[in-house]
Amino acid sequence: MDPGDSQHVLVTGGSGFIGSHLVNHLLDLGHRVDVVDDLSTGRLSNLEDALARHSDRLTFVQSDLSEWLSGPGCDSRFDCIYHLAAAVGVKLVVDDPISTIETNIMQTSAILNHVEKQGTPLFIASTSEVYGKGEAVPFHEESDITFGPTSRSRWSYACSKAIDEYLGLAHARRDGTPIVIARFFNTVGPRQVGAYGMVLPSFVDAAISGAPLQVYGTGEQSRCFCDVRDIVPMLPRMLAEPRCHGKVFNLGNDQPITINELAHLVRATLESDSEVLAVPYDEAYAPGFEDLAVRAPDLTRIREIFDFVPSYTLEQTIHDLAEIAGSRSDCS
C-alpha cells in the first residue's frame, strides 16, 4: 500500500518519544491512528496536541499490549502496524532487567502472532544495542554480534531486542508477512527526556539549570546522533517498499562525536557556564558496567533504496530541546 493512501494504522508505544512523533507524522499524512501504550515510559502529554487537533482520527488506549491483543484488540484489523512499544534507556535496563526482557520479547511475540492471522504489514523498532560488543566499525546489518556475560544485566536489553529480530524475520520467512526492522542509532530530539539515561536531554537540562554535565567513564566513547524528525518520515516509506520487507536496516546518522565533545557542544551552543564533570561508570551504574567505545552505523543498505541524508544538525536539536526545557521551567 502506498504511504500516501489513507490507512487505519496501529502504533504501539505511541505516547513515547519516537512513537509520538510517528503518530503526528501519520496524522499529517491523513491516516487514522490507534495508539496502544501502557505509559510505563511514555507520556500522554506527548499526544495532547494531536488528540486535541485530530480527535476524529486519533484513538488512545492505555493498556499492556499483550493484554489488549488477547482481549479488546483481539479481532482488530489495521492496514499496517508500527511496533515501538519497548523498555528503553540504559538506566531502566540496568535497574529492572526482568521487566526489560519480558516486555520486549512478550509484546513483540504477541504482535507477531496478531499480524500472522491477517498478513498485516509490520514495522518493528530495534536498536543499535543489538550489535553488543561488536568491534567491526561501522556496524553493518550482517555483522557478527557479541554480547557480554549473562551476569551483566547491561546486555539483557540488547539480547531481548535481538530475539525480537529473530522472531520477526522468522515470521516473515514462514508466513510471507511484510515485516521491516530498523535499528535506531541514538535518536534524539524534542520530547526526549533524560530520566532513562538519555544523554543529550540530560546535558541540555543541566546546561540550562547551571548543573554539571555528567560524563560517564572517560567520555571518549563516540556515538552518532540523529534527530527524530529525520528518522520518522522514513518509517512509512520503508514499510511501503517491497525491497525492505523481510530485512533489517540501520537507521540514523553516520557522523560520530565523542561524549566529551557533545558535552562541550551543548555548553557552547547554549552559552552555558556549567562544568563538565567526569563520573566513573561504577558510580553511575552498578559495578562492572560495560559500554562500547564506538557505535556507528553503516548506512549502505538504506541508501541503496532511499536518498536518506539527515538534515537536522546537532546544534538545531540542542536549541529545540532547550526551548522545550525552558517552557517547562516557565510553567513550573
pTM of the complete model: 0.93
Nearest to 229 by CA among 9, 21, 20: 21
Which is it for strands 222-223 and 257-258: parallel, antiparallel or unpaired? antiparallel
DSSP-based three-state secondary structure for 132: strand
Residue 108 has pLDDT above 70, yes or no: yes
**Are the C-beta atoms of 230 and 254 separated by less than 8 Å?**
no
Residue 322 has pLDDT above 90, yes or no: yes
The full DSSP string for 272-313 is --PPEEEE-HHHHSSTT----SB--B--HHHHTTS-------
Contacts of 22 (CB under 8 A, 6+ apart): 11, 14, 82, 84, 232, 235
Mean pLDDT score, 258-286: 91
Q: What is the pLDDT of residue 289?
A: 63
What one-letter code names the amino acid at 6? S
Report the Cα–Cα distance between both ends of the chain, in Å, rounded: 45
pLDDT band with cut points at 50, 70 and 90 for residue 286: low
**Are the C-beta atoms of 14 and 47 separated by less than 8 Å?**
yes
CA dihedral sign of residues 217, 268, 196, 9: negative
Place of cell 515470521: 171
Q: What is the pLDDT of residue 332?
A: 47
Contacts of 67 (CB under 8 A, 6+ apart): none
Host H or E run for residue 15 = none
pLDDT band with cut points at 50, 70 and 90 for residue 159: very high
Taking the CA atoms of the chain, what radius of gyration do you get in angstroms?
19
Task: Fill in the DSSP letter of residue 74.
Answer: T
Residue 172 has pLDDT above 50, yes or no: yes
Cis peptide bond prior to 138, omega within 30° of 0: yes
Q: What is the pLDDT of residue 206?
A: 96
Catalytic site residues? 157
Q: What is the pLDDT of residues 187-222, one digit of tens each?
A: 999 999 877 668 999 999 999 999 999 999 899 999
Mean pLDDT score, 144-149: 90
Which residue has better confidence, 91 or 41? Answer: 41
**Are the C-beta atoms of 320 and 189 separated by less than 8 Å?**
yes
Report the C-alpha gap between 152 and 286 in whole angstroms.
9
DSSP-based three-state secondary structure for 120: coil
Cell of 32: 487514522
Average pLDDT over all residues of the chain: 91
Report the C-alpha gap between 210 and 296 in whole angstroms.
31
Q: What is the pLDDT of residues 20-51, one digit of tens each?
A: 999 999 999 999 999 999 998 899 999 999 99
Q: Which domains does the chain have, with CATH numbers?
A: 8-187+228-252+297-304 (3.40.50.720)
